Chain A
Amino acid sequence: MTVSDAEQGSGPGTKGAGSAAMGADADDGYRPSARRLERERYRRARTRRAFLIAAVSTLVTAAVLYVLVVGSPGWDRTRETFFDAHYARTSFPDIMRGLWLNLRLLVVCGAVVLVAGLLVALLRTLRGPVFFPLRALATAYVDFFRGLPLIICILVCVFGIPALRLRGVTTDPVLLGGLALCLTYTAYVAEVFRAGIETVHPSQRAAARSLGLSNSQAMRYVVLPQAVRGVVPPLLNDLVSLQKDTGLVSIGGAVDAVYAAQITASEKFNYTPYVVAGLIFVVITIPMTRFTDWVAARMNRRQAQGGAV
Chain B
Amino acid sequence: MSAQAPESGDAPGPAAMEAGAALRKEPGLAQEPVLRVESVRKSYGGSLVLRDIGLEVPPHSVTVLIGASGSGKSTLLRCANLLEDVDDGAIFLDGEEITDPRTDQDAVRRRIGVVFQAYNLFPHMTVLDNITLAPRRVHKEPRAAAEARGRELLDRLGLADRAGEYPDRLSGGQQQRVALVRAVATRPRLLLLDEITAALDPELVGEVLAVVRDLKEQGMTMVVATHEMAFAREVADQVCFLDGGVVLESGTPQEVFGAPRRPRTREFLRRITEAGRL
Using CB atoms and an 8 Å cutoff, list the residues of chain A in contact with chain B: 6, 9-12, 15, 203-204, 206-214, 217, 221-222, 225-226, 229, 302-305
Contact = CB atoms under 8 A, between A and B. Distances in A.
Interface string B178-189: 000011001000
A206 B133 contact: no
B156 interface: no
B204 A210 contact: no
Interface string B84-95: 000000000000
B123 A212 contact: no
A63 B186 CA distance: 69
Contact of B124 (A203, A212, A225): A225
Contacts of A12: 158, 171, 173-174, 204, 207
B49 to A, nearest CB: 17
B31 interface: no
B145 interface: no
B133 A204 contact: no
Contacts of A9: 169
Interface string B102-116: 000011011111101
A211 B116 contact: no
B138 A222 contact: no
Which DSSP category, helix, strand, loop or mixed, fits chain A's interface? helix
Contacts of A222: 122, 133
11 contacts: A9-B169, A210-B81, A210-B83, A210-B183, A211-B133, A211-B138, A211-B183, A222-B122, A229-B124, A302-B166, A303-B124
Contacts of B106: 209, 212-214
Interface of B: 81, 83, 106-107, 109-114, 116, 118, 120-124, 133-134, 137-139, 158, 161, 166, 168-171, 173-174, 182-183, 186, 204, 207
B116 A212 contact: no
Tell me which of A6, A210, A229, A304 has the highest count of chain B C-beta atoms within 10 A of its own C-beta: A210
Nearest to B135: A211
Given A210-B83, A212-B109, 6 more contacts: A10-B171, A11-B171, A12-B207, A213-B133, A217-B138, A221-B133
Contacts of A11: 171
A13 to B, nearest CB: 8
Contacts of A303: 123-124, 166, 168
Contacts of B122: 204, 207-208, 222, 226
Contact of B83 (A206, A214, A302): A206
Nearest to B119: A207
Contact of A212 (B83, B110, B168): B110
Nearest to A222: B122
A210 B114 contact: yes
B116 to A, nearest CB: 7
4 smallest CB-CB distances across A and B, nearest first, come from A212-B110, A207-B120, A211-B134, A210-B114
A103 B90 CA distance: 62
B268 to A, nearest CB: 28
B168 A213 contact: no
A212 B110 CA distance: 4
Tell me which of B110, B111, B123, B204 has the highest count of chain A C-beta atoms within 10 A of its own C-beta: B123
A206 B79 CA distance: 12
A217 B137 contact: yes
A212 B169 contact: no
Contacts of A221: 133, 137
B120 A209 contact: no
Nearest to A304: B168
Contacts of A225: 124
Nearest to B118: A203
A221 B83 CA distance: 19
Tell me which of B113, B137, B139, B207 has the highest count of chain A C-beta atoms within 10 A of its own C-beta: B137
A291 to B, nearest CB: 20
A208 B111 CA distance: 14
Contacts of B171: 10-12
